[in-house]
Structure 1
């Protein structure tokens, strides 16, 4: 198996280059579906059945399993979308410099898609029976919160014993064993327009009201308890000499315990139940959209198995927690032992400096394949 993977390193890089050079931002449906078609063909050539879940507004999702699979106990999840808009590839396509590969989505997570594919290829050639124990879900909307794929993830996590999620490993190679929960909210303020020079007293500034609310919302942050509230986007007004009649804020919240969700929502509603600028009106929309990925006993047991596999192949497996959201939160919340960060090592995801550590590609592919093998005979 190890020899096969090492021999395929160049082939894997070629496929990564092909995938990276396809724009597949979350709203670039045609690009996501193109990637899906490429991967669908590869899996079907191995005797896997690919069920395409068609989506109107987002990229299609792929549900993949061996044609003779009956009750797979392992679910593997990866996403095909990136955060980059259409046209990004034309500006900065895939390239290699030294021991690193660069390009939009190269590590988050085009390389993970290839790692997963070749881990399955290695298993299919070495021990095809193992392949009957896996179900693979490739979704097209993870970077925007998995709005259409979440029900699919939750449905197919039911009855599984293990979930391996293919987000990239951290820069130091660590796997991810816990993630904070979070949600997105929108604060909409309506005021009354007036000329700021001629009759400002007749106006009711939506921007002023929003400013009060931003300060109050930010004061809910408590880093010691793992609570953060961040107004990341604001929009309002029509001209500099007009008292603004509308303003909107986009709010991101993160929590470290599920009990904090009810507390935060209650406090946000209290803050928005009254105005500081008379004559304005406020509307709060949103919800907690991602549950926590908790480090529990079953996750710890799964981590120990992966550590043992790592020792066998010469990789020291470490783990960490992260504040970012991901699909692992959904599998964890359904009660499935979940480990995230099973992809190759890289860094600077979501930026123009995103990179893959090329030499980690074959070793992480081997780690994934051997883990699947180990879990299938436990």
Structure 2
């Protein structure tokens, strides 16, 4: 079997989710049967071997794509290059949609599901960031080199393997480079993808490196600007008027005392502050930036309701302090909304990913939650997972981000096997991924 043909790197990671602390359900007989057939098929073996041989080319793609800046909301130059590369690999229908996503379809025989394989085009880094890759031995350093330069390159490698071997699938595979995955991009790319394409049956996001980590839970988040406003005035002559900055301080003090449940993990932070005009002025405006996250939509809603009430109380308290009524007002502006949700441990998506990792010699150490493009389909009840793309790295979202291609081919190999088992190989296996009711 293929699992004996590869030597995997040691896979170590923190066990951080509830799923990781319980015994995983056994693999379904249908999953095992599909992989027995796939791993015995000459074309599949050839494709898996090709991906190891393609490792150097994949790294070259990764470096070249990383060196094309893709700041938040300014991904177009990288998107155009990605579209060009997909077309060069035979997907002549590759297009850029209205939101900026790059989308291309590899058709199956028309009798199976529609599966999306995606990676995100954008980075967290602002315009003007130096993204030139610096090579230090077997270590490659640049902002975005693995988040998500590695995912984008791995996706292209999987497509090359399919082309090289001529494997025909039962279901369609939609290759996608999404925009807006990071920060205030607010998943705008994947939201547009599912808004405009109702026939998607499953979704895989390549984001991260470790093939031993499968994400099937969505850490939801809600982000707000909480803005206090008032008349303002001179600190001496207008003394006695309520202050927007004082109300802001009251709000932070109240919010800091909030207690959240440990499980499902639920968090909050006041990340930014701004306001006031001068040291000798009563502030007319002040605001804070609030981030709230949870692996549970219910707990996230409870936390939001609690903190919003405290923020209103802060305005009331500031008005009462100066015997005023409704002088200081508070406004809430939603600036980020990533839905929460959870997939099933025994879903075909998770089963296929687990078996694929085992086949290439790896071991799944965690089935966990994170905030990725998979949040959106998970929240809609559409099967979705986020998978690692292979290699090792660190410093994500920082200027010292780095990647080392140690056994990096294991990422594309496990991804390919996961995809093929889900969509089926014509004349070899039936799809494990069911077609959803339309």
Q: TM-score range by the shorter chain?
A: 0.7 to 0.9
Partner of 2:208: 168
| 2:282 matches 1:239 | no
Partner of 1:375: 422
The SS at the match of 1:107 is: coil
Partner of 1:88: 129
The SS at the match of 1:4 is: helix
Match of 2:103 among 63, 73, 88: 63
Structure-2 separation of matches of 1:325 and 1:312: 27
Partner of 1:138: 177
How large is the RMSD of aligned CA atoms in angstroms?
A: 2.4
Closer, same or farther: CA 37–85 of 1 in aligned 2, 3 Å: same
Structure-1 separation of matches of 2:217 and 2:76: 30
The count of aligned residue pairs is 365
Instruction: State TM-score, norm by structure 1.
Output: 0.88
The SS at the match of 2:72 is: coil
> How far apart are residue 267 of structure 1 and its match?
2.2
Structure-2 separation of matches of 1:37 and 1:288: 27
Structure-2 separation of matches of 1:240 and 1:173: 53
Match of 2:116 among 63, 75, 93: 75
Match of 2:394 among 333, 344, 347: 347
| 2:331 matches 1:283 | yes
> How far apart are residue 219 of structure 1 and its match?
2.8
| 2:153 matches 1:114 | yes
Closer, same or farther: CA 132–5 of 1 in aligned 2, 3 Å: same
Q: After the TM superposition, which residues 121-200 of structure 1 pair with which residues of structure 2 at under 5 Å, given as runs? A: 121-130=160-169, 133-143=172-182, 144-146=184-186, 148-155=188-195, 158-170=198-210, 173-196=212-235, 198-199=236-237
Q: Is the 8 A contact 1:124 1:130 kept in 2?
A: no
Instruction: State TM-score, norm by structure 2.
Output: 0.76
Closer, same or farther: CA 69–288 of 1 in aligned 2, 3 Å: farther
> How far apart are residue 78 of structure 1 and its match?
1.5
- Structure 2 unaligned regions, length at least 5: 1-46, 320-326, 425-431, 433-438
- Structure 1 unaligned regions, length at least 5: none
Structure-2 separation of matches of 1:283 and 1:346: 41
Q: Is the 8 A contact 1:36 1:62 kept in 2?
A: yes
Partner of 2:82: 39
Structure-2 separation of matches of 1:156 and 1:167: 23
> How far apart are residue 183 of structure 1 and its match?
0.8
Match of 1:210 among 219, 224, 248: 248
Closer, same or farther: CA 221–53 of 1 in aligned 2, 3 Å: farther
Structure-2 separation of matches of 1:131 and 1:349: 37
> How far apart are residue 298 of structure 1 and its match?
4.9
Greater Rg over alpha carbons, structure = 2
Structure number with higher relative contact order (C-alpha < 8 Å, ≥ 6 residues apart): 2
> How far apart are residue 178 of structure 1 and its match?
2.0
